[in-house]
A and B are shown apart, each in its own frame.
Chain A
Amino acid sequence: MSDSLVIGTVRAFSNGRHIVVGRDGTAMHVLFDGEDKPKIGGDVVGLLRHDADGTARMTLKRSVTDAILEGRSRIFLAGTRPDLSARLLAKVLARSKTAVIAPGSGVSIERAPTTQDPDLDWAISTFRTEADRLSVALNVIDVQAVARAPWKAASLRELTLPADTEGNGRAMHDLSQLLRSGFHPDCNRMVEHISGLREISVNFVLPYSPFAGSTGFSRGIAAMDRGHFPLPALTISDARRLSSARYVALALAHSKLGAGANGQANVDQSRRASHMANCFADAAAVLAFVSSGGDVRVAEAYADLKESSLHFGRRAGRNTLHKDVLGEATHRSIRAALQPGVLARVSTARDIVAEAVKIARRTALPASRFHAEEDAPGEMESLSAATAARRISFNLRDASHADVQRVAETYRKELRELISLQGGSELAESRLVTFGGIHVPLRLSDVFDEETRGLSRPEAVIRKQETVGGLLADRSRLARRIRAGQSPDHEAPLEFGESFAP
């Protein structure tokens, strides 16, 4: 039997039961669970359920909204100002508990405490107790549901919850950019100033890209160009777990890295602060991954991928790094988290987060490293990064045909699994063709074409191909575009994130 929402007044206490009278006059003899007991004469809101013995049991809730948000719910925005409605709803949900958000049918959004996605569910379950304890409402986007759902910019507004209380639509803009760029994972926060106080909350967490696979994930972490193939034997599930845990943990960073016990840290205010948050999140992700039975070698490979970003992430012909590469270089924190002594100390989410804070403060790069206009790795760092890069990558450019074929089989196997994970959804498959295409390693595009040949080709891809074909046919126009350095807006293809090609 499903639970009932009860709104009523406690009229008496008799034989160990409270007598609750509902608004329709119905009297119920109820046993209240939990530490909070009602007072005689008080109004109550609660969830009523009958146990196996037929005893009516009730759990008190602070409000109707609290009761509804405890389970799965659907949210609809109405009124003549849906932007203001969304803003109000954002404020309500900002004070709620962790949940997964997905597009619903019609004009609704679905919000549920759990998800069907096993890797995402693992990450949320791992950090949920700590997030609830810290009163951080993690609104994690169910990326698989979004990948399978039709969406456009207008329908994303409602999904960025709790978001945009700044009133400028920043969260919606950020989310639509992330989705258009192939679902790059992100943790998006807002800073709200209320009567001189600063309050930071999480707009949304986009935990991983459903189109990246383990190859795309590894290449992204290492800032690797298409001419290299990542060697670590990460499964797609490993990649999704590490990414989800990392971004869910990142959502806790502002609550844990403040100066005082209750202070919040604006982790986006400087590159050093952002680096510290990254160190915290990666240490927490690795601790969660290994302590729940994950392969230590996968976590070590994750550290190598991070370190090798200082090699692959260099600007062409210079010893400086692309934007954000240094801030993401968290290999020291990951390796510190993998020390046996540290692993032995963690058993709960609270332990994981506490250890990750200590590790981040101890191992983050000093502020002086972020003062220069362009970041640069030190001499020893460069050498070590180059060694790590050799450990975890295979150079496709200079490899023999036979070696490339061996790598191709690994890639083909992963691609097949990635396609099967799209659940047969035409929309998800067409997005895989679009966004998965940007992760195709050099000399392996034939494999990608063969494996995705049977999938529906999105109109956007066809249009893009026509644009490229047209440009190649008209060389003078191409030359003009190259000289201009940027394409006109009406010809701009989908935005495919940053390129780190050296």
Chain B
Amino acid sequence: MEPGDIGSASQEIEIAFFLVSQDFSGGSCWVQLPKGCKAKVEAIGRDDEGGFLHMEDGNVLRMRAPGGQVEEFASDLDELLSKDEVVIQELDEFQTLRDEYPVGKVPYENRIGFGA
């Protein structure tokens, strides 16, 4: 997959929140995967439209800025992505914790169109 190509199938994520530590080198992102989604999260990134999760089956799950606050959301995401350890906490449709998928530090140049 080339940079800029983040997959063809794209879905919105309904539930997401981030916890970013100000003391430690870690952050976590809790996301509820769409109903029936079996694939694992492979990577997290952001582009001009907001945040996204890249799934191992090539699909992309998008996170939108709440209340249209795109710029604030982008800087929030940058704060999360600058951490050494970013942990994706996957939840199924019943909001049960499915897995914890750790993602390492994401370099800035890989955030736009971040792919496999």
**Interface residue ranges, A against B (CB under 8 Å):** 2-7, 23-24, 47, 63-65, 67-82, 84-86, 88-89, 91-92, 106-108, 154
Contact B66 A3 (CB under 8 A): no
Q: Which residues of A contact B14 (CB under 8 A)?
A: 79-81, 84
Q: Which residues of A contact B64 (CB under 8 A)?
A: 78-80
Q: Which residues of B contact A89 (CB under 8 A)?
A: 17, 30
Residues in B58-105 with C-beta less than 8 Å from chain A: 63-67, 69, 72-73, 75-76, 79-80, 83-85, 87, 89, 91, 95, 100, 102, 104
Tell me the complex Cα distance, A24–B84, Å. 11
CB-CB nearest in chain A for B14: A81
CB-CB nearest in chain B for A64: B87
Q: 7 closest pairs, A vs B, by CB?
A: A5-B26, A71-B23, A106-B72, A79-B16, A72-B22, A78-B16, A76-B18
How near does chain B come to A210, taking the closest CB pair, in angstroms? 24
Tell me the complex Cα distance, A23–B102, Å. 8
Tell me the complex Cα distance, A64–B28, Å. 7
**Interface residue ranges, B against A (CB under 8 Å):** 12-28, 30-32, 50-51, 63-67, 69, 72-73, 75-76, 79-80, 83-85, 87, 89, 91, 95, 100, 102, 104
Q: Which residues of B contact A85 (CB under 8 A)?
A: 15-17
Tell me the complex Cα distance, A331–B104, Å. 58
How near does chain B come to A44, taking the closest CB pair, in angstroms? 12
Tell me the complex Cα distance, A106–B67, Å. 12
**With contacts A63-B100, A76-B18, A78-B17 known, is A88 near B66, CB below 8 A?**
no
How near does chain B come to A146, taking the closest CB pair, in angstroms? 19
Contact B66 A5 (CB under 8 A): no
Contact A4 B20 (CB under 8 A): no
Contact A7 B85 (CB under 8 A): yes
Contact B17 A77 (CB under 8 A): yes
Q: Which of the residues A47, A75, A79, A82 comes within 8 Å of B19, measured between beta carbons? A: A75
CB-CB nearest in chain A for B63: A78
Q: Which residues of A contact B16 (CB under 8 A)?
A: 77-79, 85
Q: Which residues of A contact B76 (CB under 8 A)?
A: 74, 76, 106-108
Q: Which of the residues A2, A80, A82, A84 comes within 8 Å of B25, measured between beta carbons? A: A2
How near does chain A come to B13, taking the closest CB pair, in angstroms? 5
Tell me the complex Cα distance, A85–B30, Å. 9
Q: Which of the residues B12, B27, B83 comes within 8 Å of A80, measured between beta carbons? A: B12
**With contacts A7-B102, A107-B72 known, is A78 near B24, CB below 8 A?**
no
Contact A82 B85 (CB under 8 A): no
Tell me the complex Cα distance, A68–B19, Å. 7
Q: List 11 A-B contacts (CB under 8 A).
A: A2-B23, A5-B21, A7-B100, A71-B22, A73-B22, A78-B13, A79-B13, A79-B14, A81-B14, A91-B95, A107-B73
CB-CB nearest in chain B for A24: B104
Contact B21 A72 (CB under 8 A): yes
Tell me the complex Cα distance, A363–B67, Å. 51
Q: Which residues of A contact B18 (CB under 8 A)?
A: 74-76, 78
Q: Which residues of A contact B85 (CB under 8 A)?
A: 4-7, 64
How near does chain B come to A137, taking the closest CB pair, in angstroms? 15
Contact B15 A79 (CB under 8 A): yes
Q: Which of the residues A63, A68, A88 comes within 8 Å of B21, measured between beta carbons? A: A68
How near does chain A come to B24, taking the closest CB pair, in angstroms? 5
Q: Which residues of B contact A75 (CB under 8 A)?
A: 17-20
Known interface pairs A74-B20, A107-B67; 9 further A-B residue pairs with C-beta atoms within 8 A, sorted by A's residue number: A3-B25, A7-B85, A65-B89, A67-B24, A68-B27, A71-B22, A78-B66, A85-B17, A91-B95
Of B21, B72, B95, B102, most buried by chain A (CB within 10 Å of CB) is B21
Q: Which of the residues B26, B31, B79 comes within 8 Å of A67, measured between beta carbons? A: B26
Contact A64 B26 (CB under 8 A): yes
Q: Which of the residues B66, B69, B89 comes within 8 Å of A79, measured between beta carbons? A: B66
Contact B25 A74 (CB under 8 A): no
Tell me the complex Cα distance, A502–B65, Å. 51
CB-CB nearest in chain B for A83: B15
Q: Which residues of A contact B32 (CB under 8 A)?
A: 79, 84, 88
